[in-house]
Chains A and B, each alone.
Chain A
Amino acid sequence: MKFPIKIFRISGHSMEPTLKNGQLVFIFTWFPAQPKDIVVAKIEGTTIVKRLKNWSGKHAVLEGDNQKHSTEKIMVLGNSIIGKLLIK
């Protein structure tokens, strides 16, 4: 059984103003993410944090909150999502 809470430190600006560079976040891993949740996903060895826009079949569409810095959507396999933001 996986541990319910994971802690990460934010690196970068694509989720500002919601999450700032250097900020600590607590991620809840037990329940599936829903649209509008902020999620942490692991892709090809890199851990990223984005907002879940919607599900497209087995894939999750992610996007950064900072529209100046992050304008493209990213599509990832649903099982690459580690968890969703609990506390920031």
Chain B
Amino acid sequence: MKKLTSLVDKLIPKAHAHCDVPCGIYDPHRSIIGALTVIRMMDIMEDTEKHIQEAENKNESALVHQNNMQRAIAVKEEHAEIVKHEIRVIWGDYFKPEQRQQYEDLDNLTHQIMQLASKSKQSADRKTAESLLEKVNSFAEIFWKTKGIETKKVKAPYKPEAEIVIPVL
């Protein structure tokens, strides 16, 4: 009877209720938010640098601005890594070989994103971060195309108010 029960049990498929985004669910939105955040942090860093200069010119303490600068750098670092992680996971786990063949530029695009995200960590160059967002948007377009979902470009409703790709649902 135990053997029969065990056999029957093996035949019953599982329905997974063990995580919020189960295996097989992917969305490039987090990588887009990450890229937007990198741009935003660079803008904040530029503003903060001006405040530091002003304080130094007045012989005042720039400590609070230096603190803000360090925090912005840390958040930039974190979100550039989020971009790399999210893109890496989608490229490695979601895209099938036939899709990588169909979208010939996908592998090269992914590599460019990795490099731009690293460069964004190393520098405070807004153009690098803008290129990162542009490439992440292109990646998102390919992703949604493989799901048969159209996309459109919209202006993000928050700073840096840059153009992002969203699915049309």
Chain A interfacial positions (CB closer than 8 Å to B): 7-15, 19, 21, 24-25, 27, 40, 43-50, 56-59, 64, 69-72, 74-77
Contacts and interface: CB of A to CB of B under 8 A. Distances in A.
A15 B94 CA distance: 25
Ordered nearest first, which 4 A-B pairs have the shortest CB separation? A12-B18, A44-B24, A12-B17, A8-B15
Interface of B: 9, 12-26, 94, 147, 169
B25 A43 contact: yes
Nearest to A49: B15
Contacts, number: 81
A33 B147 CA distance: 22
Given A14-B19, A43-B25, 13 more contacts: A7-B12, A8-B13, A8-B15, A11-B15, A12-B16, A43-B24, A44-B24, A44-B26, A46-B16, A46-B24, A47-B15, A56-B169, A57-B169
Contacts of B9: 9
B22 A11 contact: no
Contact of B20 (A9, A24, A27, A64): A64
A48 B19 CA distance: 9
Contacts of A40: 15
A49 to B, nearest CB: 4
A74 B25 contact: yes
Determine chain A's interface SS by DSSP, over half rule. strand
26 contacts: A8-B12, A9-B9, A9-B12, A9-B13, A9-B15, A10-B15, A11-B17, A12-B16, A14-B17, A14-B20, A15-B17, A27-B15, A43-B22, A43-B24, A44-B94, A46-B24, A47-B14, A47-B15, A48-B22, A49-B15, A49-B17, A50-B17, A59-B169, A64-B20, A74-B20, A74-B21
B15 A72 contact: no
A83 to B, nearest CB: 10
B121 to A, nearest CB: 27
B17 A48 contact: yes
B169 A75 contact: yes
Contact of A48 (B12, B15, B94, B169): B15
A13 B15 CA distance: 11
B20 A8 contact: no
